[in-house]
Amino acid sequence: MTRTRSQWWLYIVLTLALLAVIAPFVWMVLGSFKTQGELLQNPPTWWPQAATLDNYTRLFSRLNFSQYFVNSTVVAVAVTAGNLIFCSMVGYALAMLDFPGRRALFLLVMGTLLIPGVVTFVPLFVLVTNVGLSNSLPGLILPFLVSPFGVFLMRQYISGLPRDLLDAGRVDGASELRIFGRIFLPLCGPALATLGILTFLGSWNNFLWPLVVAQEESKYTLPVALALYSKGQNSTQYGLLLAGATVVVIPVLAIFLAFQRRFIEGIATTGIK
């Protein structure tokens, strides 16, 4: 017997499963071009009978989605940049440098990794409010600039690099910052890429925190705006909501498809989405 003998019936089963997994997205995109009347038809249609861009124009002109799009992008880019810088620094220190309390610090980081976000969000909210950052974009960004997961990821990766590089750099008289920035950081490419993609997607899709902090409409991120619109007076504007969902999903899908190989490898090795 061979290791992998392709079985034709499995292809059929898997193809059906794949269609079931993808169908909601296809339906979402197609539905966003339909009119309200067509969306309420029974039985439902696949292709838009009278395709219209109406939903999108209303989304961006009347409902301010361009503002939310900008907010989401600013927050996600800032959070990603912060994680790339700070997580690699902390990870490097934990992996390569000797200082008292290193082990304790690492255990502390691991400990916070296990705490569910629900537990910290009330005191975090109080903290952010007390420093006057609630209802502001910095309030959405600052708490997430460094993450225990990112520190752990970078620490594991840097631990695998040869320590000799550090000694060589010191012998040659390079400053500590230079050793980190010029020798180690360029070697961290794959880990940084994984961290960057995961952080960007996580931030883009983040919901609970922006929902709590962004109290004013002008500070909403896309998921918050979409969730609140889906409950408010627009809750029956199906075309509008499907167009909103499309706007939230498509950038993420594009990034995912562009980087999918690196991404899936990252999941398999770290196990965290």
Partner 1 sequence: MLQSLFMSFTDTRSRDLRTPFAVDVVGLENYAKAFSDPVFRKAMLNTAYFVVVGVPLTLLMALAAAVALDRGIRRLRGLFRLGFYTPVITSIVAVAVVWRFLLERDYGLINTALGWVGIDGPNWLGDPHWAMPGLILMASWRNFGTGMIIFLAGLQAVPWMLHEAAAIDGAGAWRRFRHITLPLLRPTMLFVSVTTGIGYLQFFEEPFVMTNGGPLNSTISMSMYTYRQFGFGNYGLAAAMSYIIFVIVAVVTAIQFRLLRENT
- Told to check if 21 binds partner 1 by CB under 8 A, we report yes
| In the block, residue with structure tokens 């696949």 | 46
Closest by CA to 221, choosing from 69, 60, 76, is: 69
Residues 121-150 that bind partner 1 (CB under 8 A): 121-123, 125-127, 129-130
DSSP letter for 142, please: G
Residue from 79, 146, 166, 226 touching partner 1 (CB under 8 A): that is 226
Q: Would you say 265 and 194 are in contact if contact means Cβ atoms under 8 Å apart?
A: yes
37 or 175: whose CB is closer to partner 1?
Answer: 37
| In the block, residue with structure tokens 């290193």 | 102
Residues 242-261 that bind partner 1 (CB under 8 A): 242, 244-246, 248-249, 252-253, 256-257, 260
Tokens, residue 221: 């991120």
Q: Residue 131: phi, psi to the nearest 5?
A: -90, 10
49 or 120: whose CB is closer to partner 1?
Answer: 120
Closest separation between CB of residue 87 and partner 1, Å? 20
Q: Would you say 220 and 137 are in contact if contact means Cβ atoms under 8 Å apart?
A: no
Run of H or E including 154: helix 148-159
Residues 26-85 that bind partner 1 (CB under 8 A): 27-28, 31, 39-44
- Told to check if 271 binds partner 1 by CB under 8 A, we report yes
Quick note: the x/- pattern for partner 1 over 173-212, rule CB under 8 A, is ----------------------------x--xx-xx---x
